[in-house]
Amino acid sequence: MPVHRTLHLGVDLTDAGAHPGAWRAGGSRPPRPFDPARLVDLVATAATGLLDFALFEDSFALQPRRGASYQGRLDAALVAARLAPRSHGIALVPAVDVTHTEPFHVAKAIQTIDHVSEGRAAWQVAWSTSPETAAAFGRRTAPDVVEALTEAEDAIEVAGRLWDSWEDDAEIRDVATHRYVDRDKLHYVDFEGVRFAVKGPSITPRSPQGRPPVVVVVDSPLSLDLAARRADVARVRVEDVDEAVQVRRTLRDTATDAGRRPDELRVLVDVVTVVGEDLRSAQERLDLLTELAAIDAEPGAAPVAGPFDGSLTHVGTALDLADLVAAWSAAGAADGFTIRPASLATDLAAVVHGTVPALQARGLFRTAYPGTTFRDTLGLTRPASRYATTTS
């Protein structure tokens, strides 16, 4: 295993930011969430800071209306595919739902992004228990959490098998014998599950990373178990450092019990950031975002209080954020952090130009990408195909 030396920092570029009032924060020129040029610029800014990855959430239903928050999203996988040839160094991580998407299609989409990006793709596994989402498709009723997570694990297994179904040297392109592939090195995956069966093989050659990394959000005991057994990256949502230490320890212990090496799993804590020149200005920014989100709120609606999902929240300077990241890392609470800027228009640049240099000066963050793939950045080896019988 490559030596794991420095912190990992990713960024969530979903919507206009983590705060629902962020889309109004640009004054007379508010951010345009569906503008492709804006997305290219955001990813370029994140790459300037040598961040590990840019992540895009997704959903098949309109977001719950909280005051003046906008609704609707672009397809995360298609966004990542567009950004892949227009970005460098940084990995692209779309969330893709497996409750309403066939795992063959998911695997092929992520594998395609990995090819187009030359090894910088990953997949955040998403699932849905929403009746509204199920009604949008009209093909099944909404599953409960246990069923959704069981199906998600099956989908991860199928994707891994499909990504391995072409051995690395299956493409021979032999003009003399008119053979493009060596069919002995293409393999049926023959998966039989409760919800679906997949024969395979994939129709896409093995990707640069072999198997793109899998990301799982940990927000419950069931999702923690799934992440420990199946994820390369676990995104943890906690607010207390002691709780984060315990969750990371549990993830590593559960991974060991499942027969994995715990160092194969990267544990990243989500942190919502509201950055200002000092604590007072940061708090004033948060207050403004909250006021903006309350505009046009439905009668009787609860006031908007923040990111809403129990994540660690930092309100302060960029240097204070570096202190927090360093302290949590030293405590053994995380291998890194997924930064969720409250407003992408302001907080992303503050992190890149303020927090990152402070961490670099302490030797806690890289000064260059360590390789060309996301696995290189994570310090994870490229796995061999499970079907390979010879060393290529």
User: Residues at the annotated binding site?
Assistant: 58, 220
Phi/psi for 321 (5° steps) reads -65, -40
Q: Which two tokens stand for residue 16?
A: 């206009």
* Beta strand residue intervals within 231-325, DSSP E: 233-236, 266-275, 312-316
Alpha helices in 165-240 (DSSP H): 221-230
User: Residues at the annotated binding site for FMN?
Assistant: 58, 220
> 85 Cβ partners below 8 Å, 6+ apart?
116, 117
Cis preceding-peptide flag for 201 (omega within 30 of 0): yes
3-state secondary structure of 303: coil
Which run of H or of E encompasses 181? strand 179-181
Strand 312-316 versus strand 233-236 pairing type: unpaired
Whole-number Å distance between alpha carbons of 121 and 169: 21
Residues composing the chain: 392
Q: Which residue has the tokens 């672009």?
A: 74
Give the CA dihedral 266, 272, 274, 280, nearest 10 degrees: -100
